[in-house]
A = this chain, B = another copy of it.
Amino acid sequence: MSNLSTTSDDILACARSLIVAGGYNGFSYADIADVVGIRKASIHHHFPSKVDLVRTLVARYREEAEAGMANLELQVSDPLEQLRSYAGYWEACIADASAPFCVCALLASQLPVLPAEVGLEVRAHFRSLSAWLTSVLERGARHGQLQLMSTPRAEAEAFMATVHGAMLSARAYGDPKIFGAVTGPLLERLQIRS
């Protein structure tokens, strides 16, 4: 009943946290081997090459992200509350330092030196996140629940950029609170004022 081969999951989880810390070139098979308690060669059994490893890692990350958005659609009806949940998710991740950066955001910064296959996955995440944010904002505006200053699409891009920038600032300042300090007003601005 338990997952078959939790080892490969361990490898993915470990690689993910190493990527979040230092990007594609910031870790090696040896690093993973040390943490997971396995030999380098054994990792190659699960993921023949580093590109395989990172590609499936990002693919899985994307699945989780899509699932998260879908879940938010089901669980939360109010658009503003959906955005709050999204920002809140990251605020919690950053606060407890469990995963203080979006894997795809970090990899995107290194796009020019990324293997093409990984780059494609990363770009796809940006498109899907942006599409979801656009739909949320569009719906909020249409139902008079959100106050937009420009098109939903433009507002979504700005929202996404600000969230990513806030992650960066939190890391640069070494202060998790800065994330909330930036995203809080971002959400307030979307709120309908009487």
Contacts and interface: CB of A to CB of B under 8 A. Distances in A.
A158 interface: yes
A171 B106 CA distance: 12
Contacts of A168: 105, 108-109, 161, 164-165
Nearest to A186: B158
Interface of A is mostly: helix
How many copies of this chain does one complex carry?
Answer: 2
A189 interface: yes
B160 A165 contact: yes
Given A21-B110, A160-B165, 15 more contacts: A21-B112, A22-B25, A23-B113, A101-B109, A105-B168, A108-B168, A108-B172, A111-B171, A111-B174, A149-B189, A161-B166, A161-B182, A163-B165, A164-B168, A164-B169
Interface of A: 21-23, 25-26, 101, 104-106, 108-113, 122-123, 126, 149-150, 154-155, 157-158, 160-166, 168-169, 171-174, 178, 181-182, 185-186, 188-189
